[in-house]
Structure formats: C-alpha cells, structure tokens
Amino acid sequence: MTELPDRRLLLVHAHPDDESINNGATMARYAAEGAHVTLVTCTLGERGEVIPPELAHLTGAALGQYRRQELAAAMAELGVRDVRLLGGAGRYSDSGMMGLPDNDDPGCFWQADVDEAAAHLVEVIREVRPQVLVTYDDDGGYGHPDHIQAHRVAMRAAELSAEAGAPVAKVYWNRVPRPVVEEAFARLHDDLPGLPFTKAAAVDDVPGVVAEERVTTVVDGTAHAAAKAAAMRAHATQVTVAEPYFVLSNELAQPILATEYYELVRGERGPGERETDLFAGVEETS
C-alpha cells in the first residue's frame, strides 16, 4: 500500500453537498497542507429537492448518479482525491425527510443495521488510519434521519475500530457558535436588498448551532473561502450560491462560513484555550 501522509482526516457525511456546506474550507485547507483527506458519503441523495428547472426531471437513481458527478466536481474544487460511498455505490439510499413514508424503505440508510453499516466504515478506517474523524452530533445537526444515522454509524465505527486496535485519536462534531452565526445573519440582512435572494433563513435553521462554550476548535479556512464556494456551486441541484451567501431549495438565504467550528467529543484536547488545528496534539502519531 502507498505510504500515506502523516496527517489523515476522515469525514462522514449523509449526502453529496453536506461536506462542502459544513466542512468545505476545512477540507480544502488540509488538502492544500498535504494531509490525506478522506470523505465517506453514506447516500447519493436520491430524494433531494432539485432547484434548477432544467434539472427537475432528475429523480431517484438518475438524480443520485447526477449528484455523484456533482460530488466529484466539488471535491476537485477542494483538492480532495479520496472519496468513498459507504459500502459501495448504491448500498444505502436516501431516506428522505423525517416522518415521511420514504423512511420505511428497507433499502434506505435510516433502516440500515448500524453495526453492519459501521463495519463498512471500519474497513476505511483500518485502511486509511485517520487520526481525526469529523461527523454530526446525535441530532444530525438538524434532525434529518440520514444525518442522525451517519452520526450513529460514525461513532459506532470509531468504537469498533478502537476495539480492533485501530483507534481514531480524535472525534469531532460539526458546530457553529451562536454569536458567530447571529453576526453573520446581521450582515446578511443588511446585504439582502442587493442579493438575488428575497428572504433570509433564521439562525436556528443552521445545523449544529450551539452556545459558544461548546465549541472547542476553530479552523480558519478564510484562505480557502473561494474553493468552498466553488465546491458548493458544483452541487447545483441542491445549492445556489451568491458569495458570501447561498440558498437551498427553500430559497432562504444563509451565510457561507469560511471559518468552521467543531466540538471535540473523543480524544485529548490540544493546548490552549481553544484549538485551531484538528490535529493538535496528534501530529506525531503514526
């Protein structure tokens, strides 16, 4: 096997586009610094709502394949070359929004056996040996079943990997400190008259918003803001970008955050009041 770089980061996401919105600047920064960045996407987002009218004919498997192409284009913008689909392409399908009949589809990710799905992720962990894993909190950031399941699978895989002698040194959840997002929305409201969007989302529409003291780690990705926006733009079925803002299919504007925030939930915290590097304290780990 080819020798991997000293720093190895694994991100686990539910659908194509989640990675760029949540962690695009982080991924671009670490890829540019020479770290090995691995993305595992759990579904192809076959039940996503399509924004452009000219692509509205895409549904089901056809949409999933199109979103896979969007994902490849987005990762090219971020410089990420190691992209996996959990269990292989088509293994788990999009579960739709919480409470819909789609959740009962036996092939959807929400219905997957957690240990079985985690075993697929353990294979990736044993191969790549990441020191850092990033995923969602136990609510999936905003309650989507696939996000909740991605959290469960990622956390279980970390447990199983440790039991098998391949521990992940640090596990993080995506976060956004409330004061930061409130300030960003204040700017958005000032800028809204000049934007191609007519309405703004609310602070609580942003996944992972927490009190500032919950945030342990701040990753400054401002040098990679353009790459993050380009990656988000590549997900054209799901995202419309007008930097530094974007909308999803609900047409409610949100800020694009180039500084990204995390809560360390497993592992030793690096020195200082707040970490500025996901690898703080583990850079010498093989």
pLDDT greater than 60 at residue 222: yes
pLDDT at res. 1? 52
* Cβ-based neighbour number of residue 185 at 10 Å: 19
Name the residue with higher pLDDT: 185 or 283. Answer: 185
Residue showing tokens 């905003």? 142
| Tokens describing residue 276 | 């500025």
pLDDT at 147: 98
pTM: 0.96
147 is in an annotated binding site: yes
pLDDT in tens, 9-50: 999 999 999 999 999 999 999 999 999 999 999 999 999 999
pLDDT exceeds 90 at position 273:
no
Indicate whether 230 pLDDT > 60.
Answer: yes
The mean per-residue pLDDT over the stretch 90-105 comes to: 96
What is residue 285's predicted lDDT score, i.e. its pLDDT? 45
Backbone φ and ψ of 255, nearest 5°: -80, 145
DSSP state of 38: E
Q: What is the pLDDT of residue 283?
A: 61
**Contact of 57 with 7, CB cutoff 8 Å:** no
For the chain, percent of residues with pLDDT exceeding 90: 95
Looking at residue 19, its pLDDT comes to 98
CA distances from 140 to 121, 197, 245 (A): 17, 27, 22
pLDDT band at 286 (very low <50, low <70, confident <90, very high): very low
Closest CA to 238 of 38, 23, 69, 29: 69
- Res 65 pLDDT > 80: yes
Q: What pLDDT sits at residue 271?
A: 85
253-272: average pLDDT: 95
Nearest to 121 by CA among 110, 111, 108, 134: 134
Angle (CA) 52-56-61 rounded to 5° is 120
Contacts of 89 (CB under 8 A, 6+ apart): 44, 68
Average pLDDT on 80-91 reads 96
Mean pLDDT, rounded, of the chain: 96
For the stretch 161-201, pLDDT in tens is 999 999 999 999 999 999 999 999 999 999 999 999 999 99
15 is in an annotated binding site: yes
If we measure between CA atoms, which residue out of 34, 14, 281 comes closest to residue 134? Answer: 14
